[in-house]
Amino acid sequence: MRAASKAVVIAVAMVVSLSGCAVEGTPTWPGARLDATLLTAEDFPPGVRFDRVLEQPGTPDGADRPPAMESEPEGCADGLTKDIAASVDRGPGSSAKYNVSYDGARIVMTILVAALDLRRLEATATRCELYVTYFDKASDPILMTTTKMESSRPQSLIYQQTMQLHGEESSVYFTFENIGESGMFGIAFPTPDSTISVKGSLPQTFLDVTAKQAERLRQP
């Protein structure tokens, strides 16, 4: 398996998948007002691939992601996932999610009706600044680093997580932020796709998308 592919597997294992739904009618929480806070395909240049993720109500949490990998210190491979799960409600109308794909970057954004526990998330990221993880007991340890990045929005947490495997490095990026009573988190993967006409580069494309989504959440 290529290093970049393994990085995607590790990143997916870290981020919880939350349900989203669309509700027609007057915008109220939860439902249509949640949908109204999302970016749409019209917010991106022509050629960018935008997909709203509509998950089935009743699907067990984590059904679409691999089991957590072992790590040292313990719990670093899925620590942020557990932090998110502990601070938000689940179920229809509690969250909404979409994918944005460029040639070079795939971004998954999730908007929540509840705020995230940013202190807990930051504490976990700090504890796991440097750790090793394993695909299985027979595999070599994989070195992971979690680096906090500067943000133009003081209330947001942005991280670069880098995997070092067989002398190669591959990074993913993720963010956590509260705006008013709502929370949002996102993750970006380095994903080349020549079928998409619009180029994206990380971390800049990710920062641009998250800034645009944060601004949309601030609108009344």
Least confident of 20-24, 91-95, 123-127, 165-169: 20-24
Domain of residue 136 covers: 3-20+30-218
The pTM score is: 0.82
Q: Look at residue 186 in the predicted model and tell me its pLDDT.
A: 97
Structure tokens belonging to residue 201: 């580069």
Structure tokens belonging to residue 9: 């597997």
The angle formed by the CA atoms of residues 36, 210 and 152, to the nearest 5 degrees, is: 125
Q: What are phi and psi for residue 216, nearest 5 degrees?
A: -65, -40
Contacts of 153 (CB under 8 A, 6+ apart): 177, 211, 214
CATH number at residue 81: 3.40.1000
Least confident of 61-70, 82-91, 98-107, 190-199: 61-70
Number of domains in the chain: 1
Task: Specify if 25 maps to a domain.
Answer: no
Task: Specify if 13 maps to a domain.
Answer: yes
Least confident of 1-5, 30-34, 84-88: 1-5
For range 167-189, the mean pLDDT: 94
Whether 138 has a pLDDT exceeding 90, the answer reads no
* Confidence tier at 109 by pLDDT (50, 70, 90): very high
Q: Look at residue 171 in the predicted model and tell me its pLDDT.
A: 95
Structure tokens belonging to residue 12: 């997916």
Q: Please give the Cα distance from 110 to 104 (Å, whole number).
A: 20
Percentage of residues in the chain having pLDDT higher than 70: 78
